[in-house]
Amino acid sequence: MYWDADKGLFADTPDKESFSQHANTFAVLGGVVEGEEARQVMEKILREPTITQGSIYFKYYLHQAVAKAGLGNRYLELLDEWRAQLSRGLTTWAEQPEPSRSDCHAWGSSPNIELYRIVLGIDSDAPGFSKVRISPNLGELKEASGSIPHPKGQVTVKYSVDRKNQLKAEITLPAGVSGTLVWNGKETPLTGGEKNCVAL
């Protein structure tokens, strides 16, 4: 009812007079479109300035949909609003782009999560974080590292990418927690309680 085949996008209403990043983002997150079709939808809403754009808080959902559609390597390119805030001297995140009435809003702090979940790729893969899925989206980065707290300890990753786009990864999971590393479509099992050194 909402799909517009000519535009290749979901409309906001059945009369198909308005389109937004919002409707299309939720179509991807909700699994209404998947695979290559989801990728095409997300690419269109990222480059189409005439549709209603998501605000700072909504970018969290937009970025999750970007990653779900297989475009996670574009994430770092999508942080211009946050770069602009830093250039204005802000040390906390604004509610909305200029003019902003409030410069301290938690909903603008989604990069605090996304740098770990999307860029470093650390995410839960089972209830209670009993398994870990690590699927880095490094974009143009050649090196990245970090760690996050886990109910059983720390999940720590360190990556380097060579000129042939081959990844060297050092990943440490807490004891008793298994995981999977995903890079360029290839999955490698990870063992808890020890450093996993992987070259792909």
Residues 143-160: pLDDT tens digits? 999 999 999 999 999 999
Q: Residue 72: pLDDT above 70? A: yes
Show Cβ contacts of residue 63 under 8 Å, excluding neighbours closer than 6 positions: 75, 78, 110, 114, 118
Kindly state which CATH superfamily the domain 121-199 is placed in. Maltose phosphorylase, domain 3 (2.60.420.10)
pLDDT above 70 covers what percent of the chain? 99
Instruction: Give, as one character, the DSSP assignment of residue 78.
Output: G
Mean pLDDT across the stretch 40-53? Answer: 95
> Is the confidence at residue 45, as pLDDT, over 80?
yes
Query: Is 69 in a helix, a strand, or coil?
Result: coil
Pinpoint the residues of the chain covered by CATH 2.60.420.10.
121-199
Indicate the pLDDT class of residue 106, thresholds 50, 70 and 90: confident
Give the pTM.
0.88
Pairing between β-strand 186-190 and β-strand 131-134 as defined by DSSP bridges: unpaired
Angle between helices 21-29 and 35-47 (to 10 degrees): 160
Cβ neighbours of 184 (radius 10 Å): 8
Q: Which tokens belong to 68?
A: 């779900």
**Which H or E element spans position 8?**
none
User: Chain-wide mean pLDDT for the chain?
Assistant: 92
